[in-house]
């Protein structure tokens, strides 16, 4: 039963996955404390559907049951950051993940991106450098964030190197256009 919603999710049938997770939740015994994993998945599914309100509602339910559940803390914080909402709350959640798993490149990236959005690029750079040591170079998104922070700090040559690496890993991020705009911006200075 637990694999079925994952299969629906992976096949792109988000609605059936949601329906199946809700069935699993309804069928849990009152003593079962594992609903947080289903709430976490429902949060991710609703985020995929573009329904932040429902996604955040499920993330809150998951955190109510398990307040230090890193996957939810990270995703919730990251999605808030992407929307530019509640950055102080996102900072607190993300900080917990980095404190409990200091070498997780995904959590380091989220925390660094929030720092960047809070206008703390020097701190963001340190966390992203750490992420690079622990696998961050395998993620186009992390490379892009690192380049963005480096660019903000005026380290243009290094930023363009990381953007080039990100572009090679994932051509769908729009890096090529971003680099073109940034180079034009530099030339206008």
C-alpha atoms less than 13 angstroms from C-alpha of 24 in its C-beta half-sphere: 22
At 137-149, the pLDDT tens digits run 999 999 999 999 9
Q: With both helix axes pointing from N to C terminus, report the angle between 156-169 and 175-188 in degrees, rounded to the nearest 10.
A: 160
Please give the model's pTM, rounded to 2 decimal places: 0.91
At 162-175, the pLDDT tens digits run 999 999 999 999 99
Please provide residue 137's backbone torsions phi and psi, each rounded to the nearest 5 degrees.
-70, -10
CB 43 within 8 A of CB 36: no
Note down pLDDT in tens along the chain; length 189 residues: 788 899 999 999 999 999 999 999 999 887 788 899 999 999 999 999 999 999 999 999 999 999 999 999 999 999 999 999 999 999 999 999 999 999 999 999 999 999 999 999 999 999 999 999 999 999 999 999 999 999 999 999 999 999 999 999 999 999 999 999 999 988 887
Q: Which residues contact 108 (CB under 8 A, 6 or more apart)?
A: 98, 102, 127, 128, 130, 131, 134, 136
């Amino acid at each position: 039963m637990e694999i079925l919603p994952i299969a629906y999710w992976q096949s792109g049938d988000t609605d059936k996955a949601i329906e199946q997770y809700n069935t699993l939740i309804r069928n849990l015994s009152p003593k079962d404390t594992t609903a947080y994993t289903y709430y976490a998945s429902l949060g991710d599914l609703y985020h995929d559907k573009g329904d932040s309100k429902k996604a955040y509602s499920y993330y809150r339910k998951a955190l109510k049951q398990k307040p230090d559940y890193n996957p939810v803390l990270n995703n919730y914080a990251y999605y808030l950051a992407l929307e530019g909402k509640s950055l102080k709350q996102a900072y607190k959640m993300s900080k917990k993940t980095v404190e409990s798993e200091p070498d997780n490149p995904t959590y380091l990236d989220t925390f660094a991106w929030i720092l960047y959005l809070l206008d703390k690029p020097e701190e963001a750079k340190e966390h992203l450098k750490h992420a690079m040591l622990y696998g961050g170079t395998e993620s186009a998104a992390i490379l892009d964030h690192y380049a963005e922070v480096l660019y903000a700090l005026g380290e243009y040559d290094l930023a363009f190197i990381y953007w080039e690496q990100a572009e090679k890993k994932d051509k769908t991020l729009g890096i090529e256009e971003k680099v073109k705009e940034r180079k034009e911006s530099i030339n206008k200075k």
